Chains A and B, each alone.
Chain A
Amino acid sequence: MKFRFGSPVLDTAVRLLTPFILLFAAYVVAHGHYSPGGGFQGGVILAAALILVNLVHGRDVRWGLRPSTSLSIAAAGLALYVGIGFLAIAFGGTFLDYGALPLGLPPPQVRAVGTFGIEVGVGMAVMGVMVLLFDALMAWEQSR
């Protein structure tokens, strides 16, 4: 069963929409401190953009993510999260104590920077896992 639609309407709509979706996802992750949003929501929207392209163009789309790549991104996000925790230990604090990072800013700002790093890690992990789930469920069909 072919699931590449190829209709010009879908193709054009996806080409127009995808950059804005990606930009909005980056905005949601970065602006999570000041408005509703943060790592989870941004990661899910990022995954939705990639799934959209994958749905319309099929699996051989040129800039899609292979399952190994999305798994690596998910693992990198998790490693970023744990890495920031251990970095806090290396600078004399306890695990995940962002106040111990030597950034030379007033304490709330240091914690805000640590939180932002964590949110990016969570966003990467969530995005990787969602794209991985979709790829795994779709790909099983093609291997029959």
Chain B
Amino acid sequence: MEHAIHVLATLLLLVGLHGMLTRRHLMRKLMAMNLLQVAVIVFFIALAAKSGAQPPITAVGDAAPRAHDYVNPLPHALMLTAIVVGVATNGVALALLIRIHRRYGTLDEPDVILGMRE
């Protein structure tokens, strides 16, 4: 099937979405957010792929490249940015998790909400 990668990337996105909505532990929610991010990145890379093309790196003495022979490099650059920004997001989220645990003693979301109401 020609849309197999798209369909499976959508499934991965739904797994991440469901995980963020239903898991009680805050770190599980964070991992599900990472699943969401990787699903979106897979989708972009699949958009950039061309059948029968090689990765977007030429050798030094090559002739002028033709557009059909090389994979589209623009989504690759965008996704590089997305991955590295995702690490910064993870770092801030983990710092928040540590503070929440220090303040309320637990990382279980209903318990944290109960602690916030007191």
Binding site for B on A (CB under 8 A): 34-36, 40, 126, 129-130, 133, 136-137, 140
Q: Does B63 contact A (CB under 8 A)?
A: no
**Size of chain B's interface in residues, with CB distance under 8 A?**
11
Is there contact, CB below 8 Å, between B91 and A133? yes
Residue interface bits B68-90, CB-to-A below 8 A is 1, else 0: 00000000000010001001100
Q: B94 within 8 Å of A by Cβ?
A: yes
Residue ranges of B at the interface with A (Cβ–Cβ < 8 Å): 55, 57, 60, 80, 84, 87-88, 91, 94-95, 98
User: Does more than half of chain B's interface fall in helix, strand or loop, or is it mixed?
Assistant: helix
Q: How far is the CA of A34 from the CA of B87 in the complex (A)?
A: 26
- Minimum distance in angstroms from B60 CB to a CB of chain A: 7
Q: Is the CB of B98 within 8 A of A130?
A: no
Listed A/B pairs (6) with beta-carbon separation below 8 Å: A35-B57, A130-B87, A133-B87, A137-B91, A137-B98, A140-B98
Name the contact of B84 in the complex, choosing from A34, A36, A126, A136 (C-beta under 8 A): A126
Cα–Cα distance between A62 and B48 once the two chains are bound (Å): 46
Flag if B80 contacts A136 (CB, 8 Å).
Answer: no
> Which B residues are in CB contact (< 8 Å) with A129?
88, 91
Neighbouring A residues of B95 by C-beta, 8 Å: 136-137
Chain A residue at smallest Cβ distance from B84:
A40
A35's nearest neighbour on chain B, judged by CB, is B57
